[in-house]
Amino acid sequence: MQETNKEQYDLNKAVSNSLYRISEIRNRLLALKLMEMGCLKGMLIQKISAAPIHGPIMIKVFPNENLLALRSEEAADVFLIKSDN
C-alpha cells in the first residue's frame, strides 16, 4: 500500500460521498477514541455529511459501514488520501 505521493486532506476538506483512506491521525487521544470505535489508520471511509458552521461531520467506516460523528475540531486532525476504490 504505497500511497506516499498522494495529496492528503483533513476530514473537514474531504468531498462528501467520495472514498478516502485514513493516512494519519495527529491527535493521540482522538486516535485512541477512534480505535475504540473500530476506526483505524488505513481504513476506508466516506464523508456522508457535515453540519453548517463548523458542526459535526458524519462518516461511514468500511467494511462494516458503521456511522460515526466527529466534531470539526477532531476532523481537522484526521488526514486522508483519496482512494482508488
- 28-85 pLDDT tens trace: 999 999 999 889 999 999 999 999 998 999 999 999 899 999 999 999 999 999 998 6
- Report the run of H or E that residue 10 belongs to, with start and end: strand 8-10
Asked if the model's pLDDT at residue 1 lies above 80, the reply is no
Report whether CATH 2.30.30.90 matches the domain 8-82: yes
Q: Residue ranges of the domains in the chain?
A: 8-82
Predicted confidence band of residue 4 (pLDDT cuts 50, 70, 90): low
Asked if the model's pLDDT at residue 3 lies above 70, the reply is no
Whether residue 56 is preceded by a cis peptide bond, meaning omega within 30 degrees of 0, is no
The whole-number pLDDT of residue 6 equals 81
Distance CA(70)–CA(59), nearest Å, equals 8
